[in-house]
């Protein structure tokens, strides 16, 4: 494996790890359910995206052929993360989870 | 039984077949047979969920749209990371977003885009498909959020699905 690829892979892993960590910190620090919901959807987008890119690069350089399955995993994650966030938000509004006091605007009733 | 042996959505079947070949390690006789079977079975099962055919008019605009969304995700996640790590409390807001899009597939693409870009999560669609409820993590004003989504994402989608 050449050296430049190694540096790029290491940098991508660091970036991915950083954003996943920030997502976890957000989950612990943010004040109410709806703001905490932003953590998991966001950590997956950049964090998982960067880690997957590193994995694709690593396997393309060390073995022959690009890792198409990693790209597919990323695509599936990007497709399912918004759906789960949407269902969580809907369920929270349905059972009337309280949002933090200075939230402006109201969730509607249906 | 024989009238079931068709492919109601040829493109979906083709996509499923291709994905199955990529997921299995190398193309072999077994993966082709199983891929063909899945490409037939899954559209049959999910047919009821597609009340109308999704109609793309300008599908070649999709890569441009995806590239823009990808850029926005990277830029916005840095600002959200800064917000999470800074000591000040976020000022969240529920925004009622008036939809111009009418096609159900277009609306779900827009809602997914909103959820994927950091700082906003789409929470619900009204029963008449006219309003989208969005939770913004840190917003100055309702109009600002609406304008940003309208110009960046809904305009290109409108052109794609018109």
User: Mind listing the pLDDT tens digit for each residue in B19-30?
Assistant: 888 877 777 888
Closest residue to A42, CB basis, from B111, B118, B142: B118
A28 touches chain B (CB under 8 A): no
Collect all residues of chain A within an 8 Å Cβ-Cβ radius of residue B137.
35, 38
Chain A closest-CA separation from residue B131 CA (Å): 11
Contact B121 A25 (CB under 8 A): no
In B, minimum Cα distance to A18 occurs at B81
C-alpha B151/C-alpha B143 separation (Å) is 12
In this prediction, the answer to ipTM > 0.85 reads no
Integer CA distances (angstroms), B117 to A38, A78, B137, in order: 10, 11, 11
Give the start-to-end residue ranges of the domains of chain A: 3-95
Integer CA distances (angstroms), B37 to B5, B16, B25, B43, B150, in order: 11, 10, 18, 11, 42
Question: Cβ atoms within 10 A of the Cβ of B65, count?
Answer: 17
C-alpha B130/C-alpha B107 separation (Å) is 10
C-alpha A98/C-alpha A85 separation (Å) is 17
Q: What is the pLDDT of residues B104-141, one digit of tens each?
A: 778 888 888 888 887 788 888 887 778 888 888 877 78
pTM for the full predicted model: 0.77
Residue B53's pLDDT band (boundaries 50, 70, 90)? low
CB A38 within 8 A of CB A30: yes
A30 touches chain B (CB under 8 A): yes
């Amino acid at each position: 494996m050449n050296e430049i690829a190694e540096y790029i892979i290491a940098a991508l892993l660091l970036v991915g790890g950083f954003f996943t960590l920030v997502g976890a910190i957000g989950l612990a620090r943010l004040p109410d359910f709806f703001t905490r919901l932003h953590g998991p959807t966001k950590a997956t987008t950049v964090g998982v995206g960067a880690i997957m890119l590193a994995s694709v690069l690593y396997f393309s350089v060390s073995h022959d052929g690009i890792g198409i399955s990693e790209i597919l995993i990323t695509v599936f994650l990007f497709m399912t993360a918004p759906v789960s966030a949407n269902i969580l938000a809907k369920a929270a509004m349905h059972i009337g989870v309280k949002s933090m006091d200075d939230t402006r605007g109201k969730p509607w009733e249906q | 039984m024989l009238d079931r042996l068709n492919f109601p959505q040829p493109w979906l079947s083709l996509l499923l077949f291709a994905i199955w070949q990529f997921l299995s390690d190398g193309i072999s006789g077994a993966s082709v047979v199983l891929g063909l079977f899945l490409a037939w079975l899954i559209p049959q099962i999910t047919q009821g969920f597609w009340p109308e055919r999704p109609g793309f008019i300008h599908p070649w605009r999709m890569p441009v749209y995806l590239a823009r969304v990808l850029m926005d995700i990277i830029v916005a996640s840095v600002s959200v990371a800064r917000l999470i790590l800074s000591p000040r409390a976020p000022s969240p807001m529920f925004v009622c977003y008036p939809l111009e899009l009418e096609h159900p597939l277009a609306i779900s693409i827009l809602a997914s885009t909103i959820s994927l870009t950091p700082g906003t999560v789409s929470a619900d669609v009204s029963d008449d498909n006219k309003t989208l409820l969005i939770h913004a993590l840190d917003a100055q004003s309702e109009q600002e959020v609406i304008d940003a989504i309208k110009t960046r994402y809904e305009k290109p989608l409108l052109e794609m699905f018109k």
